[in-house]
Chains A and B, each alone.
Chain A
């Protein structure tokens, strides 16, 4: 039976295994995208921070209009900065996931080689 199991494992490793790995990797990217709500942040990139802001008052009062305009500009700017930070953090995590995933894929694909090599190298390092 050990030979059957080993053979089945090898077939899986370079068939279903790669597909499963790719799915898991994609799921993690999907999760990071979703958890930071990146599409929503981008869609509302210039919206005021936390809906703060003022409504324009009735009548023509240039000073009041200018003041409201300024306040709304500031809240929009704050909103944009906070969103930009969050999107940047999200992209950073995506990069980690991408690089880490690719690295692990290499290890995963070469597992039948990497595992014995790691053990042998370790023994050699200890002896030398």
Chain B
């Protein structure tokens, strides 16, 4: 509040004219007025119709005294009704003209003198507070307006707060919240200025209560509503209400000017052939909710400026699919309709042509050439066409297949002044096909469409939600909009903003509709993301929480020993699922060091099974295959050959997976640099210039580096805790891995060699695996200590770890069982146990 007090605010008048509407509303509420007006109107029409029938009857032979008397009564009723009806019409006109925003405060701000307006919602609240007659006001009075106020009802609905809870909160409110009138005005102006608005609305009063009343703040805190969320939701609701109110003043030029004109079409030519392959761009509705200058404003004005030129007024609009290229052209159409576009564009028709349909309908070079010339001639002669060529690079390529040079064919039209062309392209195709063509770069002016930022995307979603709510029986909460923006940006790797956020919101809406729920909340969006990407984004709950808390135990069921490694992994996963995970980086990244056969790969497999639900979601890369300068190309794809990269493909197919990179020390310098980016930023750019996200992966790299040192230290009987530090220091000093690489991993974990005791546990696990296989054939295998001891004895190799043991089981144990199965001495339903003789002969 201290900052607000420093903002001097000058009140323009002590009796604002907008209060006339407020007082009138208090005397004759709008709802009552409109209901009575509608009822009187229909009654008046009905009575009028009856009167007309009777008047006609007066000229017929059926006229009688009864009918005449009845006609007089009806006429009298019509006159009696006409009076109040006219009164209500004039009263509505009075209310609508006096309830316009009024300039009320002048404030000296850092960016100069500014005038702030008071809208009707704010005026109602000021009147309720009696702020113009008292030096001190009790803002707690505002709570009394909550229950009957449209703004408040909509606000809590948009914030996803149950109305019953609001009622309970209001019921418990008793204390007063007195503040001086000057402070009230200063705070309102300050909040409006902070919201980048010059109009004080009901929004500022909601923020005022949030600032002044800790109880209100705590109440909202229960629903995870912070001040910025409240501001965003209040701004949205306030805009929607103002939009509805402004539409009631239908006689104002701003609204009448949006109606299309029709006389001008006589001036321009017909386009019969073009119309078969094209349609007019509809006027976008954007602008009603999105604040001016918030989205694509630079692109829109640049396009309008180029098209308004007298010659070579062609635009090449380049942007990712879904970044809003067509939306910009729809806005331009709206500006043209409203007469707000530059004068040379008035009466212009933006027509979008399906270029693929053009090539699809022709089979031969001559046919396509004739068709293109015909269409372009028509468009040119019509005189008012701005032709939009969708998928322009693809059109050039498909025309080339038929032997047609589309650019040469279009060149005379593009050079002329009769026709303007807007060609659309995505970035990849632009670089591949268009950028290298000098004719195109000469004839077109490139305009790049940038993806809107987070705040702009939320505005776009506010407008989309407004349209979607007309199609689905739901109300979208503000948190759902925020979640759609954040989660689409974070988890949806295909497409561009804002389309992917809009798509996500629509998926969330259909989910809510399917579940029979009326309010679309954040959880619906999270579920939509999970369904689309299979990445868990909702808060961990129930069984998953239990699994996370017991992760070490679960992993130890498959991994013997290696406590340090298991703890590091479990900690990383708990951190990720509790929301503490640093947003950009992968879920977890580990470097496992140690000799072969100690459980490094097995740990990765177990983790894929436990965390991702299947070992199939572990993608393994043998880094010895990615050596040399071409190693990076194999991973991210090659620009020259167009071959996709193995890592890029794996991540696109399974963005939520475990990536295992074996023998990491064999990676080339270029590959290591790629890893530095992935581990730090969580993404890389593939050969086609597309971002590939690795943020929802666990990255495990393994290396045998330092194995000899580990063995030496184990033989010397050193403490495993010291082992960790000394091995990492040693490989750092030896320069096997650069310090910046080691520092990027969440943990560098040293795997200890397995001693005989641990190998016995491993043997038991491996034999249990075999027993599980036999169980499927209804054969019970009894695992005895003798059998375990024998397997360890055969398979023990201090250098190779547990690996020879698996071979021993396959070569010896499984062989005996296989023979018995074949000769019929072991059959389904039997229990099999190796005899001491059999064990000794193994």
Chain A positions within 8 Å of B, measured between CB atoms, are: 1-2, 4-5, 8-9, 12-13, 16-17, 20-21, 23-24, 27-28, 30-31, 34-38, 40-41, 44, 47, 49-52, 79, 82-83, 86, 90, 107-108, 111, 114-119, 121-128
Contacts and interface: CB of A to CB of B under 8 A. Distances in A.
A123 B76 CA distance: 6
A119 B84 contact: yes
Contacts of B23: 1, 4-5, 8
Interface string B262-296: 11101111100000000000000000000000000
A114 B86 contact: yes
Nearest to B263: A37
A9 B84 CA distance: 16
A83 B257 CA distance: 22
B73 A126 contact: yes
Contacts of A111: 86-87, 90
Contacts of A16: 97-98
Contact of A34 (B27, B90, B261): B261
A30 B90 CA distance: 22
A125 to B, nearest CB: 4
B267 A86 contact: no
B822 interface: no
Given A1-B23, A4-B23, A122-B82, A40 B347 contact: yes
A126 B72 contact: yes
A47 to B, nearest CB: 7
A47 B269 CA distance: 12
A35 B259 CA distance: 7
A2 B27 contact: yes
A31 B90 CA distance: 22
B67 interface: no
6 contacts: A5-B27, A82-B266, A86-B263, A107-B86, A118-B83, A125-B75
B221 interface: no
A21 B83 CA distance: 19
Nearest to B81: A122
The winner among A107, A111, A124, A126 for most chain B CB atoms within 10 A is A126
Contacts of A116: 83
B247 to A, nearest CB: 15
B76 A122 contact: yes
Nearest to B269: A51
Interface stretch (B248-256, B316-324, B419-427, B744-752): B248-256
Contact of B94 (A12, A31, A41, A117): A12
A34 B87 CA distance: 31
A35 B252 CA distance: 15
B76 A12 contact: no
B79 interface: yes
B20 interface: yes
A64 to B, nearest CB: 21
Given A107-B86, A122-B77, A126-B76, A40 B269 contact: no
A50 B381 CA distance: 10
The winner among A23, A28, A79, A125 for most chain B CB atoms within 10 A is A125
B83 A114 contact: yes
A12 B98 contact: yes
A118 B80 contact: yes
B263 A8 contact: no
The winner among B26, B77, B83, B382 for most chain A CB atoms within 10 A is B83
B223 interface: no
Contacts of B257: 31, 34
A13 B98 CA distance: 11
A36 B267 contact: no
A41 B77 CA distance: 47
B79 A122 contact: yes
A76 to B, nearest CB: 12
A35 B261 contact: yes
Given A1-B27, A17-B94, 20 more contacts: A5-B24, A12-B94, A16-B98, A27-B253, A31-B257, A35-B260, A35-B262, A37-B261, A49-B266, A50-B266, A51-B267, A90-B263, A111-B90, A114-B83, A115-B84, A118-B86, A122-B78, A122-B79, A126-B73, A128-B72
A1 B27 CA distance: 8
A52 B383 CA distance: 12
B639 interface: no
Contacts of B339: 34
A122 B82 CA distance: 9
A22 B534 CA distance: 62
Interface in B514-554: none
Given A44-B267, A51-B268, A51-B383, A9 B86 contact: no
Nearest to A49: B266
Contacts of B261: 34-37
Contacts of B251: 23-24, 27-28
Nearest to A43: B267
Contacts of A5: 20, 23-24, 27
B263 A20 contact: no
A74 to B, nearest CB: 15
Interface in B55-97: 72-73, 75-84, 86-87, 90, 93-94, 97
A115 B267 contact: no
Nearest to B27: A5
What are the 7 closest A-B residue pairs judged by CB atoms, nearest first? A122-B79, A126-B76, A37-B263, A122-B80, A51-B269, A118-B83, A125-B76
Interface in B110-132: none
Contacts of B90: 108, 111
A40 B263 contact: yes
Contact of A115 (B75, B87, B263, B382): B87
Nearest to A8: B20
A122 B83 contact: yes
B718 to A, nearest CB: 91
The winner among A37, A79, A90 for most chain B CB atoms within 10 A is A37
Contacts of B78: 122
Interface in B1-52: 20, 23-24, 26-27
Contacts of B93: 17, 20-21
A17 B817 CA distance: 103
A111 B81 CA distance: 14
A17 B92 CA distance: 12
The winner among A12, A49, A123 for most chain B CB atoms within 10 A is A12
Contacts of A121: 76, 79
The winner among B80, B90, B266, B269 for most chain A CB atoms within 10 A is B266
B94 A40 contact: no
Contacts of A123: 76, 80
B266 A86 contact: yes
B204 to A, nearest CB: 26
A12 B80 CA distance: 25
Contacts of B27: 1-2, 5
Contacts of B263: 35-38, 40-41, 83, 86, 90
Contacts of B260: 35
Contacts of A117: 83
Contacts of B84: 115, 119
Interface string B800-816: 00000000000000000
Contacts of A28: 251, 256
Contacts of A38: 263
Interface string B362-404: 0000000000000000000111000000000000000000000
B86 A126 contact: no
B80 A119 contact: yes
B76 to A, nearest CB: 3
Contacts of A49: 266
B264 A52 contact: no
A23 B77 CA distance: 33
A17 to B, nearest CB: 7
Contacts of B267: 40, 44, 47, 50-51
B94 A9 contact: yes
Contacts of B81: 122
A37 B264 contact: yes
A114 B383 CA distance: 54
